[in-house]
Each structure stands twice: as structure tokens, then as C-alpha cells.
Structure 1
Amino acid sequence: MSGKLMIENVYSAYDKADVLEGVSLTIEPGRVTCLLGSNGSGKTTLIRSILGLTPARSGRIMFDGVDIAALPTHKVVAAGIACIPEGRRVFPKFTVEENLRLGAYQETSASLIRSRMDEVYSLFPRLAERRTQLAGTMSGGEQAMVSIGRGLMRAPKLLLIDEPSLGLSPRFVKENFNIVRQINERGITVFLVEQNVHQTLAISHYGYVLSKGRVVAGGTPEELASRDEVKEAYFG
């Protein structure tokens, strides 16, 4: 199981105005790599470009040695990339179990789906207790668990997680970051896109800072925490 993602000199645009300008970064397999940046820095556009939703205008996006920059989204997902979108998008009128099953819609083996569901329930015992509850009646933190669990049902090599702390109480933020760490410990490569600097750096092996569509810094958590670019990207 690999999951290496290399983004090389990527330019992406909306209406001919570049949002990403020559972005290059590497997500090494087996690690948590973070992307820090304030609102409007281009983080969401980068995720959309990786997933083929906003195709890169130029540059390469290499996943396990294959250029996926021109692939449609369903083929990017089939290659082993899953995304947990910001905002905990669940199907509110479906139960927890039905939401999870939707994550494995490409699978045909009932035993494989069941074993993946058992893994999700071992990671989230609360979901196991509430498997028949409608997702829309759950708390924000519980919906975040459903959203992450649904992504894991695809058995991804690489998990893109967009703003997992958005709109959550401090207790659930801490719990969510612990879950991200556990997912990584199970061998899944994680690309964590966040604004919460302290919690993110605490669980990351390496990180980058994006500002106005450009990578302005890269390094270990210790290196990034001491960089002026981090302070500028957030407070400048």
C-alpha cells in the first residue's frame, strides 16, 4: 500500500484567473502531511484539482507514479484517493449504516463491505451503538465521524481531509485529530488541509503553507512553527 502524491508546478484557474500558481508539494506514503493556509489561500482549489473537479491548467499530479491530472473524479477515487469534505456532509435521512454503505458503493463483495464496516465501528464505537440512527439527528461531532467512516469504507491509500475542525466544539476537535492520528497509524496516508495550526502540527510529520496560491514554506512541524511565513499566512 503506497499513497504517494506528487504535485508538480500546478496552475489552476477559475474564469482564466489563476488561483494556484506553480504549486509543488509531496505527500509521502504512510505519513500525515498538512497544508496550512488562511481562507482564500487556495487550499480548497488544490483539493478540487487533485480530485479532478477543477482540472489543473498545467502541471502534473502524480499518484503512485501515474499522472492523474486529467482523470475524471470517479477514476481518481477508484485509484485510491478518498476525500472527507469540509462541513461534514452526511445523508441526513439515511441511517449511520446506510451512510457507511454508500462509501463502498463500488464494492460488490458483501463480506468485504462487512469487514470494512467492522473496522469503522472499531474506530468509532459510538457509531456502532447508533448504527440505526438517522445521521441528520446526530451531533456535529458524530456526523464528522460518519463522514470520516464513509471515506474509510473505500479502503483508500490516501485520505484527503478538508478542515476537520470546522464548526466543532473544542472537545470534538481534539477527538477528531486523535482519530486522524489513529487512521494514519493503520497505514493510511493522510493529507490534512486545515487552519487550526497547533492541533494540525501536533499530529503531522511534514507540512506546507499556502498563501495567495503559492507554497511559501515547507518543513517539519518544528520548522514550520518557527517560520515567519506561518505567522504571516495567519495573522498578516
Structure 2
Amino acid sequence: MTSSLTIENLYTAYDKADVLEGISLEVPTGQVTCLLGSNGAGKTTTIRSILGLTPPRDGRILFEGQEITGRATHKIISLGIACIPEGRKVFPKLTTEENLRLGAYQESREATIRSRMDEVYEIFPRLAERRQQLAGTMSGGEQAMVSIGRGLMSAPKLLLIDEPSLGLSPLYVKENFNIIKRINERGITVFLVEQNVRQTLAISHRGYVLSKGRVVASGTPTELQQNEEVHAAYFG
């Protein structure tokens, strides 16, 4: 099986203090791979490292076999990587449609933009009903849909999703995870960074557990659920 994303022995530091301490992982093409860990484990730093926002001090990151370590963020994104950031981060004074259009800023053909928007509305019928509504007036769950939809507007090969359950009601959390599963079934590779272990493992093909900047466990969802350390930490 080919890998969409490969991280090899990655060290990333803030102010000379390492946050990631030699992590290695693979994100197979066409699958959902998750990175689990509590607050402060280094999950968001991993995403920032992939996107070039916090360049690693050592190690390598490869996307589709091509090294992207240290490249400018806009060049990394142009290869086919999109990120749905933690906390949704919609543009509150723009409409749903305007928010979605911003996700296709690298595409100049109007017909392509419209086609992608139709796909987003097919996944999220509620957004089609609210296409002219200001994003800031929508519920948290609807804003999460706008954020995911905007990520899909660049037609990514790899979607990085940071903490999609953060601050959402249980109903919207369940809906969000179902949507991520459907997006993956459309052929998009997903790297899912989360604290919500049960829901995440239910839709993942493979996972890694991060603790204090190091990978402490990896395997299939079943293997991780049966891992004593993981079970004690997350399933109690």
C-alpha cells in the first residue's frame, strides 16, 4: 500500500524546547489515519510541522514520495493538502458561499468552483439552505460544516483535520465523524488529530498515540483498544 504522507524521526521545537521528539508515522493513501493524544501531547504541532507553519529542526516529511520539509506553506498546500483547523475558524462576516469560495482561491475557473460547491452542498444539504447566511450567525455544528466544506473546495488529496469534535454537542460530534467517514469513502485520504478516542477509532483504519511529543503506541483500532496503556489512559 502506498503512503500519502510519511513522517520520519521528526523533531519540532518552540524556543529551543522540543515539542516533538523523533516521531515517525505513515498515512496510507485512501485511508483514515488518526493521531490521538491529550492536550499538550504535540498533536497540533504535528499539523503545523506538516504545513510548514512551524518548521521542524530535524527529520523529514514526505507527501506522495516528495520531500516537503521546510517548504513554504502555500507551496505545500498547492500539492493537494488541505487543513481544517481546530475551533472551526470561519469568517463570521462572510456568507456560507463566500466562506466556501475562499477554499478554492487557487482555482480560477468558475465552472470548476461551481462544481466543487455543488459537491459540498450535496454532502451538507443544510449549507445549501443557508448559502446566503452570515457564518457568524450559524450554530457551532453548522460552522463546523462550513469549515469542512471550505477545506474540500481545494479538491485535496490529503485532508488534515484538527480536533473536529472540539466544543460541539454530542449530536454534532456524531454527525461530524459520519461526514469525515463519507469524505474518506469519496477517495480522500484523511489524517485526523483528536482527543475523542472512541468516535475516532470507530472511523479510522489505523492510529497512533502521542504522549509528551513521542509516539507511544500504534496499530489498528482493535490493537489500540487492546493495548493496556492506551486502554488505561483512554478507556479507564
2:6 aligned partner: 6
Report the AA paired with residue 106 of structure 1.
Answer: Q
What's the CA shift for 1:228? 2.2
1:226 CA drift (Å): 1.2
Alpha carbons of 1:77 and 1:96: their partners in 2 closer, same or farther (altered >3 Å)? same
Contact 1:124/1:145, CA 8 A, preserved across alignment? yes
Q: Does residue 111 of the first structure (1) align with residue 111 of the second (2)?
A: yes
Q: Secondary structure at the match of 1:98?
A: helix
Quote the residue 1:92 is aligned against: 92
> What do residues 154-179 of structure 1 show as CA deviations (whole Å, max 9, x unaligned)?
00000000000000000000000000
Is 1:133 matched with 2:133? Answer: yes
Distance of 2:227 and 2:9 partners within structure 1: 23
User: How many residues end up aligned between the 2 structures?
Assistant: 235
Deviations along 1:84-124, one digit per CA (max 9) or x if unpaired, are 00101000000000000000011100000000000000000
Aligned partner of 1:148 in structure 2 is 148
| Percent identity (aligned) | 77
- Which secondary structure does the structure 2 equivalent of 1:105 belong to? coil
Q: Which residue of 2 aligns with 1:50?
A: 50
- Cα distance in 1, alignment partners of residues 231 and 47 from structure 2: 23
- Rounded Cα–Cα distance in structure 2 between residues aligned with 1:61 and 1:229: 28
Runs of 4+ in structure 1 over 3 Å off? 231-236
Q: Contact 1:12–1:58 (CA<8 Å) still a contact in 2?
A: yes
Alignment match, 2:28: 28
For the 8 Å contact 2:3–2:26, the answer to whether it is kept is no
Q: Which runs of 5+ in 1 are unaligned?
A: none
Q: Is the 8 A contact 1:211 1:233 kept in 2?
A: no
The separation in 2 between residues aligned to 1:156 and 1:74, in whole angstroms, is 13
What is the deviation of 1:130?
A: 0.5
RMSD: 1.3
1:128 offset after TM fit, Å? 0.3
Q: 1:229: how far off?
A: 2.8
Q: Which residue of 2 aligns with 1:164?
A: 164
